[in-house]
Structure 1
Amino acid sequence: MATSGFAMVLITLTGVIWVTQALREFDLLTSKGQTILVFFVVTGLSLPLLFLVIAPIALFLAVIFTYYRLGSDSELIVMTSAGMSPGHVVRPIVLLTLVVSLVVGATSVYFAPASMRLLRQEITKIRADVVANIVQPGRFTSVEKGLTFHIRDRQPNGELNGLVVADRRDPAQEMIYLAEKGQIIDSDSGMFLVLQDGSLQRRTAREQDTSIVFFERYAFDLSQFSGERPEIYYKPRERTFIELLYPDPADPYLRMQPGRYRAEIHERLVTPLYPLAFVMCAFAFLGQARSTREGRSAAATAAVAAAGVLRLLGFAASGLIVRSPAFVPLAYLLPIVAIVLGYLVGSGRLNLAGATALDRAGNAVSGQLARLIRPLKA
């Protein structure tokens, strides 16, 4: 039950969040004239990072659902009466959790950084593809700030019709190129947009009158935009584990925020502990048999709250590591303490004072509802 529930929740949450991510990238890719294949490649590269975030949550929700069903069907009560300890019940779930933790660990250390690195490379290549940026009929496309291209349509032979080039990069003057047709030519001398049968409208900041020059052919230099791909500076999340351990001293990002590298190293190492910590939170609150539905609901709510607080504390510890290495042990202590404490409470080796309080709260709510409903029935 836990395995199928985990798979269902993982696929559902990943699909929903992937769609939201895809919609964010859709405008970027369509405005840059890319194919649908490039669109799926770019959005698909975000899946390892999504799995890293969603897998522990999906497993946690699946375990809560499993325990809730076992309690609703009174199976936990029957197993407890038959002498089966809570530790035996949670053992298959722990085995599943260990598998998920191993996959999460591999994704955290290798697959997610590699995919983010490839994603950065693809986005940079898309932005640097000047031909795809310009040759988009019916669009006003800005290659850089102050430089806008518009093309009415494109012929199968590559000829461009109805061209408008607005160049406002120089604050002192504005130039607008209009041409009936044109073509992009890539030669040894560079890349040029050759405009034919057009005019150049020029207006300076000092003069309000516009001067117009007609031309038969005019070559607009695109070489400055189609040169070598700009150097890519990878963020710590996009670095390999070896690069984080032994960074280049000349790396500008390292010189600006050296603590980010330290925090990223320990975040990758501690992430595989959270699936087990979340499961132990669910085990602590739901591992014991409960006699009322309200008690199970309150326990499930408490488990969700405990897991949420635990993860928020983990994020806070990661932020503190950026400032000082003295907080590194705290990042590991949080999930480890949650694992140990959750197992001791769930297995009955340590009494949880809140468990009895949850049952009392559930019974009180049930009694209040019964008193409110009784007059309505009468």
Structure 2
Amino acid sequence: MGSIDNYILRTTLTSFAVVLASLTGVIWITQALRGIDLMTSQGQTIVTFLGLTSMAVPVLVLVIAPIALMIAVAHTLNRLATDSEVIVMNAAGLSPLRILRPFMFAAAVVAMLVTVIGAYVAPEGLRRINRWDSEITADILANILQPGRFAQLETNLTIRVRERQPGGLLVGVFIDDRRDPKERISIIADHGTVLKNNDGSFLVLEDGTLQRFETGKRDPALVAFGRYAFDMSKFSRARDVSYGIRERYLWELIWPPADDPLYARLPNQFRTEMHERLLAPIYPFVFTALTFAFLGLPRTTRQSRNFSIAGTIITVFLVRLAGFACSIAAAGNLWFAGVQYLLLTTTIGLSIWLIAHHVVIEPPARLTEFINSTLASLTRRRLRAAPP
């Protein structure tokens, strides 16, 4: 590559990295805030919280990366046009297709990034979330019984521990059990410990009282006990980890095991996810070609670029929206996956044809005149309405 290619490639990839980090960070924060109850209700540490939520970042990158590249290409082209560099390159004999080449190199870099993430990194992150969630659930006795807090294990089961002392001693235990609609049990114990054996996990309480409120009876039954075992096996049993379709690696989607029960039940969903992963690396090329078709051709400073920028955003949005629609429809009919391939190839082919034939996409003259006259009329009205 020449110096011009290196300059454009470096500028585009730098802008892409900044935009990708910014968009991913903002969306990650909004998504992570939804899981803040992981720390508040289950007593997890900030490290666990950040670790779990960050595992979903590669999935966000799959969708955000092509959009970030489009913004980076638009920024680079606008910068080249503002400094009249596009006009100088064109005057020096560089055709629009030649100027497009370094942008396609940048799209190839992003496409490789998306391919690696879609094939391995994203499903591996989702798998780790699944396994980590299973481990947290299995260790819920150690994590959920936090001193001074009411922990709701189920809809009608609440436990509170006043303090935790060395050796695993739980002091001041309160249990409110309303899982049986025919009775309500309230237990207050001086202290207790967690016991795990082959029969399960138990909260062994000592020196306490048990009150049973039965439906239809006015007075509760009160029992004082010296030792009482409350079964907690349901909440400390690790669930079996099974991976969904989005958690499968790309090669598992292309060549699924013949004895896979999920594939036997949902073969179309497997193929739909496979096509979605294979199509993801094509979007960077499509968005780059589209953006260049609107903004990359040389034009005079009198020609407004606002329409071109708006047209780029609207066209990219419509193409991506059509891609999502085809992916959803492909779950019922795999022919829609072929429609998505046709859509992307047609879009990139039409964009390159416009670039090769030096077609500058401009709004119709009547539309431009209407917008200008409307803006001028609004300006005159505002000036007349302004106080002297």
Q: Normalising to structure 2: TM-score of the pair?
A: 0.88
Deviation (angstroms), 1:345:
1.0
Q: Which amino acid aligns with 1:152?
A: R
2:286 matched to 1:277? Answer: yes
Contact 1:173 1:203 in 2 (8 A): yes
Deviation at residue 267 of structure 1 after TM alignment: 0.3
Give the drift of 1:68: 1.4
Between 91-100 and 18-27, the greater mean CA deviation after superposition: 18-27
- Greater mean deviation of Cα atoms: 267-276 or 289-298: 289-298
Does the aligned pair in 2 maintain the 1:33–1:132 contact within 8 Å? Answer: no
Distance change >3 Å, CA 112–CA 361, structure 1 → 2: same
Match of 1:195? 205
Q: 1:18 to 1:88 in 2, by over 3 A?
A: same
Distance 1:204 1:86 in 2: 83
Counterparts in 2 of 1:253-264, with a 5 A limit? 253-254=262-263, 257-264=266-273
1:27 to 12, 37, 41: 37
In structure 1, what is the equivalent of residue 135 of structure 2?
125
Shift of 1:26: 1.9
Out of 95, 108, 120, which is 2:118 matched to? 108
One-letter amino acid of the counterpart of residue 20, structure 1: T
- Match of residue 14 from structure 2: 4
Cα distance in structure 2, aligned partners of 1:128 and 1:147: 18
Alpha-carbon distance in structure 2 between the residues aligned to 1:55 and 1:119: 22
Moved over 3 A (4+): 187-190, 245-258, 358-378
The question of 1:214 aligning with 2:220 is answered: no
Which amino acid in 1 is paired with 2:68?
A: A
* Partner of residue 233, structure 2: 223
Which SS does the other structure have where 1:357 is aligned?
coil
1:94-123: per-residue Cα shift (whole Å, max 9, x none)? 111101101101111211111111112212
Q: Report the identity percentage.
A: 41
Q: Tell me, what secondary structure is at the counterpart of 2:236?
A: coil
1:233 to 239, 242, 250: 242
Say which of 298, 315, 318 aligns to 1:289.
298
Alignment of 1:330 with 2:339, yes or no, is yes
**Quick check: 2:245–2:273 contact (8 Å CA) kept in 1?**
yes
1:356 to 362, 373, 376: 362
Moved more, 153-162 or 197-206: 153-162
Q: RMSD in angstroms over aligned alpha carbons?
A: 2.6
Select between 164-173 and 267-276 the one with higher mean Cα deviation: 164-173
Gaps of 5+ in 1: none
SS of 1:224 mapped into structure 2? helix
Label 1:256 to 1:188 Cα distance change in 2 as closer, same or farther (>3 A): closer
Which one of 97, 118, 124 corresponds to residue 87 of structure 1?
Answer: 97
CA contact (8 A) 2:137 2:235 kept: no
Match for residue 308 of structure 1? Answer: 317
1:1-46 Cα deviation digits (max 9, x unpaired): 2121111111111111121222122212332122222122211211
Contact 2:307 2:363 (8 Å CA) reproduced:
no
One-letter amino acid of the counterpart of residue 36, structure 2: F
Alpha carbons 1:139, 1:150 under 8 Å: kept = yes
Q: Residue type matched to 1:357 in 2? A: P
Structure 2 residue 58 is the aligned partner of structure 1 residue 42: no
Paired with 1:268 and 1:284, the residues of 2 have a C-alpha distance of: 26
**Contact 1:236-1:264 within 8 A present in 2 as well:** yes
Query: For each residue in 1:133-153, what CA deviation from the matched residue of structure 2 results, as whole angstroms up to 9, or x when unmatched?
Result: 432112221223322211111
> What amino acid does structure 2 have at the position aligned with 1:356?
E
Partner of 1:289: helix, strand, or coil? coil
Tell me how many residue pairs correspond in the alignment.
374
Unaligned runs of 5+ in 2: 1-10
Q: Structure 1 pair 372/149, CA: closer, same or farther in 2 (3 Å)?
A: closer
Q: For structure 1, which segment, 250-259 or 200-209, has the greater mean C-alpha deviation from structure 2 after superposition?
A: 250-259
Secondary structure of the structure 1 residue equivalent to 2:118: helix
Greater shift, 193-202 or 246-255, is seen at 246-255
Among candidates 153, 157, 174, match of residue 163 of structure 2: 153
> Does 2:68 match 1:58?
yes
Separation (CA, whole Å) in 1 of partners of 2:362 and 2:232: 74
Amino acid of the structure 2 residue aligned with 1:347 = A
The answer to whether 1:78 aligns with 2:88 is: yes
Partner SS for 1:21? helix
> Per-residue CA shift, 1:204-243, capped at 9, x if unaligned?
123232111111221112233323x212332211122343
Partner of 1:345: 354
Bigger drift between 254-263 and 119-128 goes to 254-263
Distance in structure 2 (CA, Å) of the matches to 1:373 and 1:222? 72
